[in-house]
Amino acid sequence: MGSLIILALIYSFFFIAFYLIGAGILSLFEKKEEEPVDLDMLGQLEKKREKFMRAYPLYRFLMPWVRKLAKLHERFGLKEYQNNITQKLVSAGNPGALSALEFLAIKELLLIFTPIIGILILKMLSIEVAWYYIILFMLAYFYADQWLKDQIKKRHKGIWRGLPYSLDLITLSVEAGLDFSAAINKVVDKMKAGPLVEELFHMQQQIKLGSTRRDALKAMADRVNMQDLSAICTSLIQADQLGTSLGPILRVLSDQMRIKRMQIAEKTAMQAPVKMLLPLVGFIFPAVFVMLFGPIIIKLLQGGF
């Protein structure tokens, strides 16, 4: 029994070590939320890379190897994979200014080095467990994909939080007499830097470069790939096609977004007791029982009261 507990502790230690190694490498490519967004850098991949090169020494060390490994994959095509990963990277805000093949190269580096480190530690401890190597390989390969999904969720959450306020500001600006582009500029100037402000600024840049408002809205919906934002963009595109006034439509969208946000808050509040049940039963109740009945049991074991 004691050896099983020690083995379980060792496995837990290796899993935590693997997680920290992977998180440490991939965190270099994650944009910090508190870092102010430089809007002039949007859409300029090389400048973003130079910024990360200056900020993170480990990024500067790893990227040449990542690029060399990515170039080896160019001859294999992988067009479908590249399109899929590129869409996910764009939805995540392109953390670390990575291309799809560079992301694949990082997955392969994790696949190579993480199991090697784990095997070396196992050899040092004289532990031979064959299936542990298989688990390490699986975790190393799928960790990068899970990290990218987490980045997409984090970005979508930031956009979701900013949507109600930004819609209200756009609505007030349009009803006050500003056109749609001027209202978007007002949002970009007044709102705190974040993923929604980045996307709105990117949309404005596309319009300035010659794209129609309809195409810029559709491109933003495709980039973010978020249901609520896509519905708003679709409504605005239809209004532009039909030539109707944007003020009433924006007012309806703003009201709908506020109601939906309130419904989600109520749903989360109703789920709180259920989520608290497991910690209560597993951690708090046993501690309370030990405090209440522990002295009584000790007295009984010692010969009664």
Single-letter amino acid code for the residue at 21: I
Which tokens in the block code for residue 59? 């990024």
Q: Classify residue 167 as left (phi > 0), alpha (psi -120 to 50) or beta.
A: alpha
Task: Let me know if domain 159-261 sits in CATH 3.30.450.
Answer: no
pLDDT at 21: 56
> Measuring CA to CA, which residue among 252, 248, 195 is closest to residue 224?
195
Q: DSSP character for 35?
A: S
- Tens of pLDDT, residue by residue over 69-78, are 778 777 777 7
Kindly report the pTM of this predicted structure.
0.69
According to the model, what pLDDT value does residue 78 have? Answer: 73
What are the residue ranges in the chain where pLDDT is below 70?
1-50, 52-56, 58, 115, 122, 125-134, 304-305
Look up residue 60 and give its amino acid: R
Unique residue bearing structure tokens 């890379």: 49
117/145 Cα distance (integer angstroms): 21
Where do you find CATH 1.20.81 in the chain? 159-261
pLDDT at 40: 37
Coil, helix or strand for 60?
A: helix
